[in-house]
Amino acid sequence: MSGALLSAEGLDKTYGRTPALAGVRFSIRAGEVVAVMGPSGSGKSTLLHCLAGIVRPDAGTVRYDGRELTALSDSARSALRRQDFGFVFQFGQLVPELSCLENVALPLRLNGERRKAAEAKARGWLERLEVEDVAGHRPGEVSGGQGQRVAVARALVTAPRVVFADEPTGALDSLNGERVMTLLTDAARETSAAVVLVTHEARVAAYSDREVVVRDGRIRDLAGVA
Amino acid sequence: MSIGHTLLGLLETGPRHGYDLKRAFDERFGHDRPLHYGQVYSTMSRLLKNGLVEVEGVEPGGGPERKRYAITEAGVTDVADWLAQPEKPEPYLQSTLYTKVVLALLTHRSAADILDTQRTEHLRLMRELTRRKQDGDLADQLICDHALFHLDADLRWLELTAARLGRLAEEIGA
Ligand SMILES: Nc1ncnc2c1ncn2[C@@H]1O[C@H](COP(=O)(O)OP(=O)(O)OP(=O)(O)O)[C@@H](O)[C@H]1O
Ligand SMILES: [Mg+2]
C-alpha cells in the first residue's frame, strides 16, 4: 500500500502446533492510530511482536520505511527498535531498581544521550503525562495508573515513529484509561507517530482512526464496509 | 424490528402457509409478544403487492391463513439487502440483530459478516462520540460517555454472539 510507514504481507507464525497468524496483511501510515482488536488468543500480540521485529514470522515480510525488517540482522533490528519504535505493554515493563525519571530517561541513555539532557527530556514527558510528582519514586511505589503513564512517557521520549501499545489501559479504571489514551493519541498525532494499538476494549479502540479485527490468526477484512 | 423482512426471511427457507408463518415467527422471535393474525395478513398483502412473495396455492376453506406463500427473486434480494445493511447504532438493538443473525443462519448466509458489519458501524459512532467528548466540556463528556457505555455493551454482545455462532446454528437447526 502506498504511503504506508509499516506494512506486513503474508505473515504466518506457528507456535508448536498452534497457528497464531495465518496470511496476515497489515499496514499503517505515519500519524495513523490503528486498533488491533479480536478475542483472546486470536493472535493480536503475536502480530504486534512480528510488526515490531521482536518475533520473527515463519513466513511473510514486514516492511518499515522502505526496509525489510525480516531481512535485517538481529543487531540491526534491535537498533531500529531502540531508535524508531516505542513500546507500551500491559505490565512489568518498568525497571524496578530505577526511579520513574530514570526509567523514562533510559531509552535515551541507551541511544547514547547524556544523563542531564536525557533526564530533562524525561521530566518534560512526565509532566506532560501528569505524573511529574512521582519522578523520584520507584515503580513499586506508584499506583498502576501512574505506572502506566510513566510507561507511556518512556515509550514517547525518543520521539518514535511507531508506537506499539499492547493493552496499554488493561490495568486501569475507565477514567485513567481514557486519560492515558487521550495523552497517548494526542502526543502521537502531534509528532506524526503511527500507533499500533492492541486492545479488546471498544472504548479504547474508539480513540483510533480505524480498526482491524483478528480472528483465529486472520484479519477479517471489512474493506468496502462504510 | 422489521416484521416484513423477518417473515420474508422465514419464507426464504421454504414456502409456508400463513398460519405456519405466524407460528414460525412466534417460535423463533415472538418471545413474549406473538404476532396477531391481522399483522401477518396485512404484512403479507403488502409483500404480495410489492412482488416480494407470491401465492403458490390455497387450501380449501379460504381465509388468508390458508394461502401458501413463496418468496420471489425480488424477495430474496430484499432479504439480502436488509441483512447486509447495518442497523443504526442505538440502545436495545438486540432483538433486531438477533433476528438477523438467526435468519442468516437459516438461509445459509454469513452471520459473522452481519455481526462484523454492525460492529464497524458501532465503532464508527463510538469514534465520533470520543472525538466529540475530547473537544467538549464536562456536560458533553458525560452525555457522550453514557452513549459510549451503551454502545460498548452492544459490542460485547456482538463479540460474544460471534463466538457462539456455531452453537446457535446447531440449536436452531440451521
Ligand atoms: N510464546 C508463545 N509460545 C507458545 N504459544 C504462544 C506464544 N505466544 C502466543 N502463543 C499462542 O498463539 C496464539 C495467539 O496468541 P496471542 O498472544 O497473539 O493472542 P492475543 O490475541 O494477544 O490474546 P490476548 O487477548 O489474550 O492477549 C495463542 O493460541 C497463544 O497460546
Ligand atoms: Mg495479547
ipTM: 0.82
Measure CA B104 to chain center: 9
Supply the pLDDT for residue A162: 97
**A to B CB pairs, distance under 8 Å:** 42
Q: Which of A158-162, A169-173, A203-207, B142-146 has the lowest mean pLDDT?
A: A169-173
Q: Which residues pair with B16 in a beta bridge?
A: B69
Q: What is the pLDDT of residues B24-52, one digit of tens each?
A: 999 888 776 788 888 888 999 999 999 99
CA dist A116 → A113, A136, B109 (Å): 8, 15, 63
Q: Which atom of ligand 1 is nearest to the CA of A214?
A: 21
Fold of B1-85: Arc Repressor Mutant, subunit A (1.10.10)
Atom 1 in ligand 1: which residue has the minimum CA distance? A15
Q: Which atom of ligand 1 is nearest to the CA of A13?
A: 12
- Distance, CA of B10 to CA of B125 (rounded, Å): 31
Write down the H helix ranges in chain A: 44-51, 74-84, 100-110, 115-128, 144-156, 174-190, 202-205
A132 and A126 in contact (C-beta within 8 Å)? yes
The domains of chain B are located at 1-85, 86-174
Tell me the residues of chain B between 1 and 20 that have a Cβ less than 8 Å away from chain A. none
Cell numbers for B64? 388468508
Find the radius of gyration of the CA atoms of chain A: 17
Atom 25 in ligand 1: which residue has the minimum CA distance? A40
Ligand nearest to the CA of A17: 1
* A14, A21, A42, A167, best to mutate for ligand 1 pocket (most atoms within 8 Å of CB): A42
Is A203 in CB contact (< 8 Å) with chain B? yes
Q: How sure is the predictor about A176, in pLDDT bands with cuts at 50, 70 and 90? A: confident
Using CA coordinates, name the residue in chain A closest to B121: A226
- Is B117's CB within 8 Å of A222's CB? yes
Question: Which among A150, A147, A161 is positioned nearest to A128, based on CA atoms?
Answer: A150
Supply the pLDDT for residue B173: 85
Is B97 in CB contact (< 8 Å) with chain A? no
- Is A213's CB within 8 Å of B163's CB? no
- Is B116's CB within 8 Å of A202's CB? no
Let me know if A82 is exposed, middle or buried by CB neighbors in 10 A (0-12, 13-18, 19+): middle
- Distance, CA of B83 to CA of B115 (rounded, Å): 10
- Is A213's CB within 8 Å of B116's CB? yes
Q: How sure is the predictor about A1, in pLDDT bands with cuts at 50, 70 and 90? A: very low
CA dist B32 → A114, A132, B101, B127, B161 (Å): 72, 58, 19, 35, 21
Supply the pLDDT for residue A225: 39
Q: What is the pLDDT of residues B161-173, one digit of tens each?
A: 999 999 999 998 8
Atom 28 in ligand 1: which residue has the minimum CA distance? A41
Supply the pLDDT for residue A224: 39
- Is A211's CB within 8 Å of B123's CB? yes
Percent helix, percent strand, percent coil in chain B, to nearest 5: 70, 5, 20
A34 and A57 in contact (C-beta within 8 Å)? no
